Amino acid sequence: MVFLLTGIEARGFIFGPPIALAIGAKFVPLRKPKKLPGEVISEEYTLEYGSDRLEMHVGAVNKGERALVVDDLIATGGTLCAAMNLLGNFYHK
């Protein structure tokens, strides 16, 4: 059973919430830096042309929750790896 669904900015926000609603999971947005209020955890990743960061609220994921990551495109896989690392940081605490 999937407990939460993460959507990567920005198109993950279009696909993620309806899927989360349909499967009864909570939705957790993964955003670019300085877009989320409150305390966040971040992960840097490499793009074809440089680097960027993803952020997620601290406390959005609980240890042992199964997650599904939603995005619209995988180019280099850097964003997906950053999302997995963010989720993994919560699982190992």
- Catalytic residue, chosen from 31, 39, 43, 48, is 48
Residue 9 bears catalytic tag: no
Of the candidates 78, 73, 29, the one whose C-alpha atom is nearest the C-alpha of residue 53 is: 78
Residue 69 contacts residue 47 (beta carbons within 8 Å) = no
Active site residue 11: yes
**Contact, 28 vs 4, CB < 8 A?**
yes
Catalytic residue among 11, 44, 65, 66: 11
Positions annotated as catalytic residues are 11, 48
